[in-house]
Amino acid sequence: MFRRTTENLPTDPHYPADLNALGFKVNESGQIVKNDTSGEHFDFYHTSSERANEVRKEAVHTCARKEVIERMGELGVKELFLHGEKYERTKPKDRYVVILATELKELVGKKDVIVIVNESKQDLGMWAYRQLMREPGIDGGSAVGMIKKLQDWGEPSTEEVSFRVTVLWSCQLILSIQP
């Protein structure tokens, strides 16, 4: 039986989690497309190496998650880090679970709070990367589009939204407060 030692393995490919460095951008429609004039969408089969393609895809997904979190923040739904019995907006050093939520002071005064629970195989606030990377774009492939539509349902007479939103992440079902 043959086995490869670690010094005989090929080096693991590295792609930076930066859309520009990867050759992509977010266009005006909210789609992730190539920087060149072709406007082509993300192509998974970039090379013949399955590992390189997977690492590159994860780098693009990291960029997409950052973009979605940033856009959700602009809409008033920001990251909230839960650890133990505490919660805060800054990332703690201890173990934590992250959710997206409207500011607590805004949640208290509202009669309606919408709680969105993703499927256990989805990332926080993401519906489907295939939609996010293609025609529907960031609005269609993530919770950003839903938040925009919900905000359009605000009370027209007061120009204020009558509800607030919390997005839970069911991938993180278990939280141990032990470090």
Q: pLDDT tens digits for 133-177?
A: 888 888 888 888 888 888 777 654 455 555 566 666 655 555 444
Question: What's the confidence (pLDDT) of residue 147?
Answer: 86
- Structure confidence at residue 179 (pLDDT): 46
Instruction: Indicate the residue type of 166.
Output: T
Q: Report pLDDT for 54.
A: 93
Element spanning 124, H or E: none
Q: How many whole angstroms separate alpha carbon 5 and alpha carbon 56?
A: 25
Give the mean pLDDT of the chain: 80
Long-range interactions of 14-19: CB distance < 8 A, separation 24+:
14/55, 15/55, 15/56, 15/58, 15/59, 16/59, 17/59, 17/62, 17/63, 17/66, 18/63, 19/60, 19/63
- Residue pair 89/80 in contact (Cβ under 8 Å)? The answer is yes
**Which pLDDT does position 154 carry in this prediction?**
62
pLDDT at 166: 66
Tokens matching residue 154: 């605000």
| Residue 118 near residue 168, CB atoms below 8 Å | yes
pLDDT at 70: 93
List the beta bridge partners of residue 114: 165
| Residue type at position 1 | M
Whole-model pTM above 0.85? no
Amino acid identity, position 137: G
pLDDT for 178 equals 47
Which residues of the chain have a pLDDT value below 70?
Answer: 1, 154-179
Task: Output b/e per residue, 115-142; b: 16+ Cβ within 10 A.
Answer: ebebeeebbbbbbebebbbbebbbbbbb
